[in-house]
């Protein structure tokens, strides 16, 4: 991680020095490098880094498992698009700790380690504007699509990108998030057997979206006035622009209004977005809850700032202290999740599987190990299997380079030990 930050500083220093000299009429790159020992050293470091990356890529390629013949013409309900990944010529690595390429890295892990062919993944479509307006106010969506795209997105994503042109923001941030939102909607349909993926009676019904989980995005009617915009900027918050969790559930309700849904949110931060959204009467049918929320989160974390206002909307709330470790965390989960499932008896579980609970995560402030996260995911899926509940997993937050490795290994573990579609 430290080396990657040094590499970024070196690269941008190199670009800066070159740009300040290139305006001269007598500019010569060869002469510039020769006359500037520091620039020569920087160039050497960058060249060595590219060479190392090339060698590492060849080694990784040589270790890949061959594509499995038994999956060649078979679809697995794992949803992914290369369009999920965000790229700003490397600038994103400096602006925010979020690994904007982690989705690709998870996908590549499953191909390299398990031999899953790329054709076995489901690829989502970008969610439509009309669908987004099911859960968001039209003014908010139109502001993102038009004049205030850069300013509003910068505020929600909490990174200084408001200076960029609107079309760059729409293509590099909003489009990936629309695709991931479409992925969550598709994943819910697949898990329920509403899409092209058909289940046998004895099958465990499941799906995984390698993305999504924007649990800080709220939706219609949830206004907290910050006085900056005429529309509600708080519909999006904390790098969460679109309410994919709410939308996936609303789309399921269009097929079955009686469907009972349990959101199991195990991201390190409280899921204030879906909790605020489902606090309204729209989440009820004939006076009865259609959604209940099971949320374990770092209660001492400052974010989200309005968590006290949404605490009342969590039916199964478990606040954790800073530094909570594996044993205590897993005991709370194993003691309470089965009880919650038995009491509510949901028809569908939407599992928000954030990896920011990882012990080295800079934002989650919990101390759950790599192994502990894999055990957590396995337990949640085992409960869905035990109680015969369709389940969709979305990957949510996670702000270290290890996050993609953990997710990849956890999905690998689920496919082998719980779902058992891979030997």
Q: Which residues of 38-59 are buried (b: 16+ CB within 10 A; e: fewer)?
A: ebeebbebbeebeeeeeeeeee
Domain 69-418 has CATH 3.30.43.10: no
Burial of 363 (0-12, 13-18, 19+ CB in 10 A): middle
* pLDDT (0 to 100) of residue 114: 95
* pLDDT (0 to 100) of residue 135: 94
Please check the confidence at residue 9 and state whether its pLDDT lies above 90.
no
Rounded Cα distance, 150 and 87, in Å: 16
Q: What mean pLDDT do residues 221-225 have?
A: 46
Listed by start position, the domains of the chain span: 2-62, 69-418
At 227, the pLDDT band (50, 70, 90 cuts) reads very low
Decide: pTM greater than 0.85.
Answer: no
* pLDDT (0 to 100) of residue 99: 77
Q: Which one of 109, 197, 215, 216 is the catalytic residue?
A: 216
* pLDDT (0 to 100) of residue 151: 72
* pLDDT (0 to 100) of residue 70: 79
* pLDDT (0 to 100) of residue 196: 80
Q: What mean pLDDT do residues 325-353 have?
A: 98
Return the axis-axis angle of helices 102-114 and 402-413, rounded to nearest 10°.
40
Strand ranges for 212-370 from DSSP E: 261-265, 284-285, 288-289, 291-298, 316-320, 348-352
* pLDDT (0 to 100) of residue 226: 33
Range in 65-69, 320-324, 363-367 the model is least confident about: 65-69
- pLDDT of 77-130, one tens digit each? 999 999 999 875 454 454 545 677 899 999 999 999 999 999 999 999 999 999
Rounded Cα distance, 277 and 243, in Å: 9
At 308, the pLDDT band (50, 70, 90 cuts) reads low
| Angstrom distances, CA of residue 382 to CA of 75, 334, 373 | 22, 11, 14
What's the full length of the chain, in residues?
Answer: 423
Catalytic annotation on 222?
no
Give start and end residues of each alpha helix (H) in 257-311.
272-277, 307-310
Please check the confidence at residue 184 and state whether its pLDDT lies above 70.
yes
Please check the confidence at residue 399 and state whether its pLDDT lies above 60.
yes
Range in 191-200, 217-226, 252-261 the model is least confident about: 217-226
Q: Are strands 291-298 and 316-320 parallel, antiparallel or unpaired?
A: parallel
Q: What mean pLDDT do residues 384-409 have?
A: 97
Q: What mean pLDDT do residues 22-31 have?
A: 52
Average pLDDT of the chain is: 83
At 405, the pLDDT band (50, 70, 90 cuts) reads very high
* pLDDT (0 to 100) of residue 307: 60
What are 326's two structure tokens? 């594996």
Is the pLDDT higher at 352 or at 17? 352
- pLDDT of 126-154, one tens digit each? 999 999 999 998 888 888 887 667 777 77
Rounded Cα distance, 298 and 49, in Å: 38
Please choose, from the candidates 184, 157, 176, the residue with its C-alpha nearest in 3D space to the C-alpha of residue 247. 184
Please check the confidence at residue 194 and state whether its pLDDT lies above 80.
yes
Q: What mean pLDDT do residues 360-386 have?
A: 97
């Amino acid at each position: 991680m430290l080396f990657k930050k040094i590499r970024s500083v070196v690269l941008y220093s190199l670009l800066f020095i070159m740009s300040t000299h290139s305006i001269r009429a007598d500019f010569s790159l060869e002469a510039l490098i020769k006359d500037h020992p520091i620039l020569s050293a920087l160039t050497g470091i960058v060249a060595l880094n590219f060479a190392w990356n090339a060698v590492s890529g060849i080694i990784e390629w040589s270790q890949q498992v061959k594509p499995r013949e038994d999956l060649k013409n078979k679809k697995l309900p794992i949803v992914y698009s290369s369009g999920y990944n965000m790229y700003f010529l490397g600038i994103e690595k400096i602006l925010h700790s979020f690994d904007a390429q982690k989705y690709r890295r998870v996908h590549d892990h499953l191909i390299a380690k398990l031999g899953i062919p790329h054709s076995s993944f489901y690829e989502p479509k970008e969610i439509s504007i009309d669908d987004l307006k099911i859960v968001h106010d039209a003014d908010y969506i139109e502001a993102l699509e038009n004049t205030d795209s850069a300013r509003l997105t910068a505020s929600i994503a909490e990174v200084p990108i408001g200076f960029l042109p609107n079309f760059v923001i729409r293509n590099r941030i909003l489009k990936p998030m629309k695709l991931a939102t479409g992925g969550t909607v598709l994943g819910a349909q697949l898990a329920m057997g509403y899409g092209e993926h058909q289940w046998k009676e004895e099958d465990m019904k499941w799906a995984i979206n390698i993305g999504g989980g924007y649990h800080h995005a709220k939706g219609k009617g949830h206004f907290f006035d910050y006085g900056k915009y005429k529309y509600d900027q708080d519909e999006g918050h904390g790098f969460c622009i679109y309410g994919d969790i709410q939308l996936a559930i609303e789309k399921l309700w269009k097929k079955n209004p009686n469907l009972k849904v349990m959101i199991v949110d195990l991201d390190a931060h409280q899921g204030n977005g879906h909790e605020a959204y489902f606090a309204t009467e729209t989440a009820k049918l004939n006076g009865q809850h259609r959604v209940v929320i099971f949320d374990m989160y770092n209660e001492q974390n400052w974010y989200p700032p309005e968590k006290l206002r949404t605490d009342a909307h969590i039916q199964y709330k478990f606040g954790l202290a800073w530094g909570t470790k594996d044993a205590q965390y897993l005991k709370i989960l194993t003691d309470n999740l089965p009880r919650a499932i038995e009491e509510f008896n949901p028809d569908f579980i939407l599992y928000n599987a954030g990896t920011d609970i990882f012990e080295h995560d800079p934002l989650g402030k919990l101390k759950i190990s790599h192994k502990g996260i894999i055990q957590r995911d396995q337990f949640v899926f085992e409960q869905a299997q035990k109680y015969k509940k369709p389940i969709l997993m979305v990957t949510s937050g996670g702000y270290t380079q290890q996050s993609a490795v953990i997710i990849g290994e956890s999905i690998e573990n689920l496919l082998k030990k719980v779902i058992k579609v891979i030997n």
